[in-house]
Structures are given as structure tokens and as C-alpha cells.
Amino acid sequence: MMEKIAIKRTGCEKTVELRKKNGVYYLVFPKLEELGTVDHLFSTRLGGVSKGCFSEMNLSYTRGDEKEAVDENYKRISDVLGHGRTLNDFVSTFQTHTTNVRVVTEKDKGKGPAIPRDYIDIDGLITNVPEIILSTFHADCPPVFFVDPVNNAIGLAHSGWKGTKGKISEKVIFAMRENYGTNPKDLICAIGPSICGPCYEIGEDVAKEFSEAFSEDEIRDYEIIVPYPNDKYRLYLWNAIKLTLVQSGVKEENIAVTDVCTRCNPDILFSHRIHHDDRGNLAAFLSLKQEK
């Protein structure tokens, strides 16, 4: 029986569910799960072997944690995802807050956890190769999952404020259409756990950049930026990403939006706003199941 873990939610829809397997706690979207064609999860801090500020499930090799601990954490994630996969089946982004998208093939297997990446400046990944596990890293920035059940293709993006302003979700959809013939109307998408609007205070500089990327009507009607006292604002990344998906042709009913905020749950999730640089990284994972 899973012990009671209290999650603070931003609403009552429970679009994301907490699961436990082999001692590892993780979050899933039932909307993606019910497709039956993909494996996915968003990690929590619970169930790994990392110590100190990385405790427990740190999935980054670049924050100062011991490599052996991170390797073990990946092994535990691969056990949760199943199908006998190993570190050689993961492919990771090289995130620098760009809107660049990489097409992942068999030749990329293992890049990140198992072997060095031979690319940089990649915040989005797409593939149609079964069993490859796409991986992105997070500590307040949203992950965006893309599943094309018609052409059996997937995508995963790290969409921080710069990527959201640059509409990385649109770039992923374009890349999937160009490479796999994806029709946006067929896509099932999910915006994963990250900082919520009420927690995300920004200054005039970031607000100005969003006002250049989205129209005044869009910002107001979709509540992307909400003014706050003392020349501050609240940035609702989830709303901006959802608008970009809809404008890219994804049906609104095919989009699941998280109700779990990283900053509201610092004991369960890493949050840059709370932990600053003394922390590990969470990760999002998505892979195609092998066709039977």
C-alpha cells in the first residue's frame, strides 16, 4: 500500500496522478496512459539514492551529484518504465532555453546517461523509434508531452519562459509534421508539473518580452500575464503553452494541463524558486511502446 503523500494542487481536476513502483514515486497523466501506445512519467524527489540537497531522485549529471547515484536513479526509472530497458535506451536534451528540436534516431540511443551527447542547445526531442526514452530536465520549467497515435510518433519539450515565449511547442509540432506526417488535430498533449501562475513572479523585462510574442488580447483573454503591485507581474506559463498548442492546431480537448506546482510542493519536487542552486533536477520521460 502506498503511504499517504500530500500533494498541493491548483485545482480539483487531478489531471496528474501520483504512483509508486519499487519504492519510486512518480506522476503520470491518465490522458496519455489511456492511449496504450506510450510509457511516460514525471519524476518526484522520492525513491532515489542521492544525498544532501540532491535527495533523493536527482536525474542530472551536471549539478554536482555523484555519478554512481545518478546512474542508480536512472536504473530505477528504467525499472518503472519497464520492458527491460537500461541507461542505453535514454536520450536526453542539452537544454539552454532554446527552441531547437532534435530528431532522435537509433544512433542516438544512450546519449545523456550512458554516453556523451554530441549535440548542444537542444530543448526539444522527437522520435518514431519504439523503446527510446526521450528525457528532459526540470525544476520549475514545464515539460510538454506530444503523442501522435496515428503515425506512432512522440515529442517532448522543455518549455521555460524563454522556450514558451519562443513557442517551442509550435516548433515541435512542425518538426513532427515534417518528419512523420503528423496532423496536429491527431495529437494528444500534456503540460507537465512546473511552477504555477500565482507562484511565478516576473519583472517588467520578462513581461515586455511576452507582450512582443503574444497579442494584447491573447495576454488578457488567456490570462498569460497578470499585473501585480510594485511593477511586478504573474506569468501563467501553462496558459501560454496551451494557447500555442491550440493555435498550432491541437484540439483543446486533447490537451491535459497539470494541476501540480513545483514551487507549492518543495518536499516532493525540486523548485529553482525555492531551492535555488542547492538542488537536483526532476525529469520528464516519454517513449513509444513496441508495436505488438
The answer to whether residues 125 and 91 touch, using CB atoms and an 8 Å cutoff, is yes
Predicted TM-score (pTM) of this structure: 0.97
| pLDDT score at 3 | 66
Secondary structure letter of residue 194 according to DSSP:
B
The three-state (H, E, C) secondary structure of 30-55, written as one string:
HHHHCCCCEEEEEECCCCCCCCHHHC
Residue 237, in any domain of the structure: no
Find the largest Cα–Cα distance for the chain.
Answer: 58
Residue 209, in any domain of the structure: no
Residue 21, in any domain of the structure: yes
Please provide the distance, in angstroms rounded to a whole number, between the alpha carbons at the two ends of the chain. 32
Residue 37, in any domain of the structure: yes
Residue 170, in any domain of the structure: yes
The number of domains in the chain is: 1
How far does CA 64 lie from the centroid of its chain? 22
Q: Which residue, 266, 288, 272, 290, is CA-closest to 44?
A: 266
The answer to whether residues 281 and 93 touch, using CB atoms and an 8 Å cutoff, is no
Residue 182, in any domain of the structure: yes
List the domain range (segments joined by +) for residue 124. 17-193+251-288
C-alpha angle 62-40-54 in degrees, rounded to nearest 5: 30
The answer to whether residues 39 and 287 touch, using CB atoms and an 8 Å cutoff, is yes
Residue 290 exposed, middle or buried by CB count within 10 Å (0-12, 13-18, 19+): exposed
Tens of each residue's pLDDT in the chain, 292 residues? 456 788 999 987 889 999 999 999 999 999 999 999 999 999 999 999 999 999 999 999 999 999 999 999 999 999 999 999 999 999 999 999 999 999 999 999 999 999 999 999 999 999 999 999 999 999 999 999 999 999 999 999 999 999 999 999 999 999 999 999 999 999 999 999 999 999 999 999 999 999 999 999 999 999 999 999 888 999 999 999 999 999 999 999 999 999 999 999 999 999 999 999 999 999 999 999 988 6
User: What length is written for the chain?
Assistant: 292
Domain at 163, CATH number? 3.60.140.10
| pLDDT score at 1 | 46
**Alpha carbons 256 and 29: distance in angstroms, whole number:** 8
| pLDDT score at 13 | 80
Residue 212, in any domain of the structure: no
Residue found by looking up cell 513545483 in the block: 262
Cis peptide before 252 (omega within 30 of 0): no
C-alpha angle 155-156-159 in degrees, rounded to nearest 5: 135
